Amino acid sequence: MLNFTIRRLFVAIPTIFFLVIACFFLMHLAPGGPFTSERPLPPAVLANIEARYGLDQPLWKQLWDYLTNIVLHFDFGPSFVFKDRDVNDIIAQGFPISLTYGSLSFLAASIVGISLGIAAAIRHNTWIDYFAVSLGILAQALPNFIMGPILILTFTLWLGWLPGGGWYGGQWQYLIMPVIALSTSFMGSIARITRSSMLEVMNANFIRTARAKGLPERTVIWRHAMKPTLLPVISYLGPVFVYVLTGSVFVDLYFSTGGLGQSFVNSALSRDYAVLLGVTILYGSLTVAVNLLTDLSYAWFDPKIRY
Amino acid sequence: MFQRYKKVEALASDMTHHSAVKGRSLMRDARERFLRNKAALVCLGVLFLVVLFVLLGPFFAVWDNETIDWGNMGATGVPSLQTGHYFGTDDLGRDLYSRTIQATGTSLMVGLIGAGMALIIGIAWGVIAGFYGGWLDSVMMRIVDILLAIPLVLVLILILVIAGRSFTTLFIALGAVSWLTMARIVRAQTMALKGREFIEAARASGVSETMIIIRHILPNLMGVVIVYASLLVPDMILAESFISFLGLGISEPSTSLGSLISEGAGTMAYGTLWQLAFPLAFYVTIIITMFFIGDGLRDALDPKDR
């Protein structure tokens, strides 16, 4: 197990390293920069600005400086657009917000989704099952991009129960709608995956054996069926966790929560490559880390897997 | 002694007759299972109606999608039969009926072509990696891992910025980001198939590797691949909406459901709800029907999954 962890880490670190280099070159490949405007700057001024950000150096030197700054000082450099802020500031401001409502959405989606899926599988072909399946499919068709306007319309404009946007340090009234909007579609997918996985497990031989031993149904479900049921769910949950954080762009735009999604879109539109690169690297590393955790949790859930 | 008995003869012919019964092909089995699935059939019908609406709807339109009706905009642009704006008008006074038809067509096409591209690239990549294995497999899968770790939006934005905005670029960009998971699924499936007895039998009887892939691996992959592709269609529609939302997708006067929804969401505070409601209804209908059809296909093609 420890051996496997170390081996995976040896793969994970070069992956992140590769990702940084690939993104760095892609950014420099894209035409147009933060300093190209409708009225071109005088060459002397442009040269000055480029010298200020080190853009006049050869590309390999820029890359080297960028990498050493990250490794030695954990510094992602200055923003090209905001003169007084660097990338670290922007991430430090937006990331905690995204992380807060992102992890709450993740929790909500997993808890509700898994419970719904299990309830449906245990009461297979009853009205509970049909209700859960319909709810799951309906929820899946409502990604955050669609849920945002629907929620604002219902709870802010019609009922007037909740404020339409803002963050204010994450008070609960401001959290409810972003969390619901972000978690709905994943809740649906999780419910459906759990249901079909559980149905398959309940037909397995070892469940028949457990039942034949005369174990009560509750023990069969919780002690024997639970772990193998959750195995495919977990492999789905890993990417969802990362997506919930990256896919929060619409939530940020609709509810003005000020998370990282907003910085990402703004920097993409204003060609602020420094911020774009920083956010990409953050998400990329997060993906690699979460994938590692997913693989490790497999070992606990599936005794058949040996490392 | 060796007298011929009529009864034995009849029995023998009966037996040979039975053993000569034509085997049921996998696809015919699957089709029968799919046709038994009521929900999937109904959804297929609904989707067919949506397609029919896109094809025939323009003949009933009074206004085209670009003309601005100066007399009916904003709050007065309510859906009505008198003005000829069956779905009302949008913020600029353009007919929403024509625009919804156009947008639905665009979104359906984006979904199909994006999923199709993912299908082709993903199958080729996954089969080669899974079948040949070894260092080739590690390199190819490492590339997929790295690409998966980059947020898709970034790749989409980069491609659209570097290559310029157009329909073709959009389709290529969508295909370029969507094949990764498909490649993984196909690889895993290929590796599982590779160890099976019938592949070994084919190999032992001297079938070339290319022929093994074409005749034995690909047909057995189809079930999983079709199911995943059908689930990819709504994803593609969503991704297109996303980049349209950022202003990098399909440009005016063309439109897609995603752009119409975000326009409608932008003006809903002024009480012009129909601008959100009609595109949203079409969008949700398409997505839900696609899910049910995908589910039906999975039940039909991969029966042991239940």
Residue recorded with tokens 């209908």: B285
Tell me the residue type at B164.
Answer: G
DSSP 8-state assignment for residue B151: -
- Judged by a CB distance cut-off of 8 A, whether residue A21 touches chain B is no
Decide if B149 and A29 are in contact by the 8 Å CB cutoff. Answer: no
Residues 240-299 of A with CB under 8 A from B: 246, 249-250, 253-254, 264-265, 268-269, 276, 280, 283-285, 287-288, 291
Asked if residue A103 lies in contact with residue A111, where contact means CB atoms within 8 angstroms, the answer is no
pLDDT at B20: 54
Question: For A175-189, how does the pLDDT look when each residue is reduced to its tens digit (9 = 90+)?
Answer: 888 888 888 888 988
Integer angstrom CA distances of residue A63 from A53, A58, A86: 13, 9, 17
Residues of A in contact with B269 (CB under 8 A): 157
Question: For B24-81, how does the pLDDT look when each residue is reduced to its tens digit (9 = 90+)?
Answer: 666 777 788 878 877 788 888 998 998 998 888 778 777 777 777 777 776 676 777 6
- Pick from A83, A233, A149, A229: nearest CA to B245: A149
CA–CA min distance A12, chain B (Å): 10
Nearest chain B residue (CA) to A158: B269
Nearest chain B residue (CA) to A130: B39
pLDDT at B18: 59
Question: For A29-85, how does the pLDDT look when each residue is reduced to its tens digit (9 = 90+)?
Answer: 766 666 666 667 777 777 777 777 777 777 777 788 778 877 777 777 777 777 777
- Judged by a CB distance cut-off of 8 A, whether residue A138 touches chain B is yes
Asked if residue B110 lies in contact with residue B240, where contact means CB atoms within 8 angstroms, the answer is yes
Asked if residue A146 lies in contact with residue A254, where contact means CB atoms within 8 angstroms, the answer is no
Nearest chain B residue (CA) to A292: B145
Q: How far apart are CA B96 and CA B279, in angstroms?
A: 9
Residues of B in contact with A132 (CB under 8 A): none
The torsion region of residue B276 among left (phi > 0), alpha (psi -120 to 50) and beta comes to: alpha
pLDDT at A199: 85
- Judged by a CB distance cut-off of 8 A, whether residue A19 touches chain B is yes
Residues of B in contact with A200 (CB under 8 A): 305-306
Asked if residue A184 lies in contact with residue A148, where contact means CB atoms within 8 angstroms, the answer is no
Residues of A in contact with B280 (CB under 8 A): 146, 149-150
Decide if B284 and A146 are in contact by the 8 Å CB cutoff. Answer: yes
Q: How far apart are CA B67 and CA B65, in angstroms?
A: 6
Residues of B in contact with A265 (CB under 8 A): 246
Of A26, A250, A284, the CB nearest to B149: A284
Of B241, B273, B288, the CB nearest to A141: B288
B133 by DSSP, 3-state: which?
coil
Mean pLDDT confidence for A188-206: 86
Question: For B184-219, how does the pLDDT look when each residue is reduced to its tens digit (9 = 90+)?
Answer: 888 888 888 887 888 888 888 888 888 888 888 888
Q: Indicate if the pLDDT at residue B305 is higher than 50.
A: no
Decide if B154 and A23 are in contact by the 8 Å CB cutoff. Answer: yes
Residues of A in contact with B148 (CB under 8 A): 287
Integer angstrom CA distances of residue B259 from A152, B10, B36, B41, B250: 18, 71, 37, 30, 8
Start-to-end C-alpha separation, chain A:
6
Mean pLDDT of chain B: 79
The predicted complex's ipTM stands at: 0.71
Q: How far apart are CA A181 and CA B254, in angstroms?
A: 28
Asked if residue B301 lies in contact with residue B226, where contact means CB atoms within 8 angstroms, the answer is yes
Q: Indicate if the pLDDT at residue A306 is higher than 80.
A: no
Decide if B268 and A268 are in contact by the 8 Å CB cutoff. Answer: no
Asked if residue B173 lies in contact with residue B160, where contact means CB atoms within 8 angstroms, the answer is yes
Asked if residue A292 lies in contact with residue A12, where contact means CB atoms within 8 angstroms, the answer is yes
Of A15, A142, A253, the CB nearest to B146: A15
Nearest chain A residue (CA) to B273: A153
Nearest chain B residue (CA) to A269: B246
Tell me the residue type at A17.
Answer: F
CA–CA min distance B282, chain A (Å): 12
- Judged by a CB distance cut-off of 8 A, whether residue A96 touches chain B is no
DSSP 8-state assignment for residue B68: B
The torsion region of residue A114 among left (phi > 0), alpha (psi -120 to 50) and beta comes to: alpha
Q: Note the pTM of the prediction, 2 decimals.
A: 0.77
Residue B306: band (very low, low, confident or very high) from pLDDT cuts 50, 70, 90:
very low
Decide if A15 and B292 are in contact by the 8 Å CB cutoff. Answer: no
Decide if B161 and A287 are in contact by the 8 Å CB cutoff. Answer: no
Query: Which residues, 6+ apart, have CB-to-CB distance to B131 below 8 Å?
Result: B190, B194, B209, B213, B217
CA–CA min distance A199, chain B (Å): 7
pLDDT at A289: 82
Decide if A145 and B238 are in contact by the 8 Å CB cutoff. Answer: yes
- Using a pLDDT cut of 90, give the percent of chain B over it: 1
b/e code B229-245 from CB counts within 10 Å (16+ = b)? bbbbbbbbbbbbbbbbb
- Pick from A18, A30, A65: nearest CA to A276: A30
- Judged by a CB distance cut-off of 8 A, whether residue A30 touches chain B is yes
Decide if A153 and B276 are in contact by the 8 Å CB cutoff. Answer: yes
Residues of B with CB under 8 A from a CB of A: 142, 145-146, 148-151, 153-154, 157-158, 161-162, 234, 238, 241-242, 245-247, 258, 261, 264-265, 268-269, 273, 276, 280, 283-284, 287-288, 291-292, 295, 305-306
Q: How far apart are CA B220 and CA B192, in angstroms?
A: 11
- Judged by a CB distance cut-off of 8 A, whether residue A29 touches chain B is yes
Decide if A142 and B284 are in contact by the 8 Å CB cutoff. Answer: yes
Q: Indicate if the pLDDT at residue A159 is higher than 90.
A: no
Report the alpha-carbon angle A170-A174-A180, nearest 5: 110
- Pick from A255, A121, A258: nearest CA to A182: A255
Which of B107, B145, B284 best probes binding to A when mutated, by most A CB atoms within 10 angstroms?
Answer: B145
